[in-house]
Amino acid sequence: MTVADRAPVPPSVRRWAIIALALGGFGIGTTEFVAMGLLPNIAGTLGISEPTAGHVISAYALGVVVGAPLIAALTARVPRRTLLIGLMVAFTVGNLVTVLAPSYGLLMAARFVAGLPHGAYFGVAALVAAHLAGPRDRAKAVGKVMLGLSVANVAGVPMATWLGESLGWRSAFALVVVIGLATIVALMRSLPPLADMRVTNPMTELGALARPQVWFTLLIGVVGFGGMFAYYTYLNSALTTVAGVPVSLVPVAMMLFGLGMVSGNIVGGILADRSVPFGILAGLIATSVSLALFALTLQNAWAAMILSYAIGLSGASTIPALQTRLMDVADDAQTLAAALNHSALNIANATGAWLGGLVIAAGHGYRAPSMMGAGLAVAGIAVLGLALFTGRRRGPRPQSMVGGVATVLDR
């Protein structure tokens, strides 16, 4: 019996459990992005250059990429409730060491440790949310858990950045420690025992890596989502140098982008509960169109601001569907597959920023990252098509009509 086949738990239990899970996502999202705005402060305190200070961001991302598959496989036998609490304890300890780190070397190690639980936490949290919600509302539940990450961009990161600017960069990570402690308490109080959630073993989880559809889905995330990061990395420069937006209004555009991500998680969950492939397809089409429009209308400041919201919405709307598809195609290796989604998204982050920098360095200007991002989203659609084609060749699947288009539901 899969998670999707289980009966929903009482609404009050599900509501508070999902809020607790989303609170953890809020803390993770805050710590992931706040360092970007505090690099000059970190560099000044530790007596290093700003580019060198930027390596703390890479250390966190490396922790995510390494930790997601490693923890998911090694903790396969651990009960899900215990695992989630343990992951949040490790996350909180990593951020506490960040606050206390007296040297650059220890800070790098602390950021790596803080990143290790990231992917595994979101992967297990998504499985738990789907289990609690039942088959009809599982993608919406996954989307609500991911809301914590989106809300972090709207509220958590600005709040922590303000603290870091006012009281020193360590205070920003002290806030994350407080959020982590609050999440631990919330998980202990609100999560049911989850005794009926089946645990596996490391070899079973590693079996996900032998499934082509898992790799196809991860590649959709790396390619299709990379375009949004190419846009976001150079948003500040695009708005100020091409659109003529005052520097003081750039945070407004970033907040609109964050609000779009909040909306996207909700919309994406609704679409994915109707059809997972359709949810991915709709999100990638909307991402491609909105990124292309941003590049073409960038000289109009109002259009650029509005499209920042649209890009956030369309990009985030693919996340619940991608997460749900990974759980579907992994069969009995769901924990590893769900965790790998966040490794893929961090690779998309790094790849999108790198490719965006390449087209700028080639002399194509600050419109180019968004236009290239539109192309990456189209490439993601091509990967989705290939995944569905190869999946259908393995045998007929149940189908559902969404908007008059037959779509494969489970693979």
Least confident of 299-303, 360-364, 403-407: 403-407
**401 pLDDT tier (thresholds 50, 70, 90):** very low
| Mean pLDDT on 288-311 | 93
CATH code of 330's domain = 1.20.1250.20
The whole-angstrom separation of Cα 194 and Cα 160 is 34
How is residue 121 written in tokens?
Answer: 């936490």
Give the range of the structural domain holding residue 270, as residue numbers without chain letter.
203-411
Are 342 and 243 contained in the same domain?
yes
406, β-bridge pairs? 401
Are 119 and 47 contained in the same domain?
yes
The pTM is what?
0.78
Are 120 and 212 contained in the same domain?
no
How many C-beta atoms lie closer than 10 Å to residue 410's C-beta? 14
The answer to whether 61 and 184 have CB atoms below 8 angstroms apart is: no
Domain limit, last residue, from 199, 233, 249: 199
What are the backbone angles phi and psi of residue 402, rounded to the nearest 5°? -125, 115
Q: Give SS3 for 297.
A: coil
Are 194 and 211 contained in the same domain?
no
Are 367 and 395 contained in the same domain?
yes
Are 355 and 380 contained in the same domain?
yes
Which pLDDT does position 8 carry in this prediction? 53
The answer to whether 214 and 139 have CB atoms below 8 angstroms apart is: no
Domain limit, last residue, from 199, 228, 250: 199
How many C-beta atoms lie closer than 10 Å to residue 189's C-beta? 10
Are 167 and 219 contained in the same domain?
no
Are 158 and 242 contained in the same domain?
no
Are 276 and 194 contained in the same domain?
no
Are 320 and 343 contained in the same domain?
yes
First-last CA distance in the chain: 18
Domain limit, last residue, from 148, 181, 199: 199
Radius of gyration of the chain (CA): 20
Q: Quote the Cα angle for 355-356-361, to 5°.
A: 95
Which pLDDT does position 290 carry in this prediction? 96
How many C-beta atoms lie closer than 10 Å to residue 178's C-beta? 12
Are 207 and 106 contained in the same domain?
no
The answer to whether 33 and 152 have CB atoms below 8 angstroms apart is: yes
Domain count of the chain?
2
The whole-angstrom separation of Cα 127 and Cα 133 is 10
The whole-angstrom separation of Cα 61 and Cα 118 is 9
For 203-232, what is each residue's pLDDT tens digit? 877 777 788 999 999 999 999 888 887 887
Q: Give SS3 for 106.
A: helix
Are 171 and 97 contained in the same domain?
yes
Q: Give SS3 for 333.
A: coil
Q: Which amino acid is at 68?
A: A
